[in-house]
């Protein structure tokens, strides 16, 4: 994996958390607000569709973010950025897929097949 990604369990709440480098910071909002502990399902499907060339562009919108998937780079747009603030992160689509898979593995490890 190109980026240092840390997935851990919050000591107080017991929820899974994720830390990523600042340059892809909105991936945290995407994972924690939209994907959560249900798994990356629809989000990963959109990435796979583009990477497998079944589609040239996919877009998935959640509560906090919109993910605009292209073959090389995916744009994660944060819906609630203040005017004048950075409102998106760019990440290589293959790297985002790896983060989603890493997240799903952490969910599987924590909950087993029940979630």
Supply the pLDDT for residue 26: 97
- Residue 43 to residue 100: CA distance in whole angstroms: 8
pLDDT at 42 over 60: yes
Instruction: Tell whether 35 is covered by a domain.
Output: yes
Q: Are 35 and 26 a contacting pair, CB within 8 Å?
A: no
pLDDT band at 115 (very low <50, low <70, confident <90, very high): very low
pLDDT in tens, 76-92: 999 999 999 989 999 99
Instruction: Tell whether 101 is covered by a domain.
Output: yes
Mean predicted confidence (pLDDT) in 26-31 = 98
Mean predicted confidence (pLDDT) in 86-111 = 96
- What secondary structure does DSSP assign to 65-81, as a single string? EEEEE-SSEEEEEETTP
Q: How many domains does the chain have?
A: 1
Q: Structural domain of residue 102, as residue ranges?
A: 6-110
Instruction: Tell whether 1 is covered by a domain.
Output: no
Question: Can you read off the two tokens belonging to residue 70?
Answer: 């292209």
- Residue 110 to residue 22: CA distance in whole angstroms: 26
Mean predicted confidence (pLDDT) in 36-60 = 97
Instruction: Tell whether 42 is covered by a domain.
Output: yes
Instruction: Tell whether 16 is covered by a domain.
Output: yes
Instruction: Tell whether 115 is covered by a domain.
Output: no
């Amino acid at each position: 994996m190109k980026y240092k990604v840390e997935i851990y369990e919050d000591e107080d709440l017991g929820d899974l958390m994720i830390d990523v480098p600042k340059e892809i910071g909105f991936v945290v909002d995407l994972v924690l607000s939209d994907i959560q502990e249900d798994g990356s399902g629809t989000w990963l499907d959109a990435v796979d569709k583009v990477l497998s060339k079944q589609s040239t562009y996919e877009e998935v919108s959640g509560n906090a973010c919109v993910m605009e998937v292209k073959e090389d780079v995916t744009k994660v747009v944060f819906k609630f950025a203040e005017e004048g603030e950075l409102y998106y992160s760019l990440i290589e689509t293959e790297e985002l897929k790896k983060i989603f898979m890493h997240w799903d593995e952490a969910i599987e490890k924590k909950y087993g097949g029940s979630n």
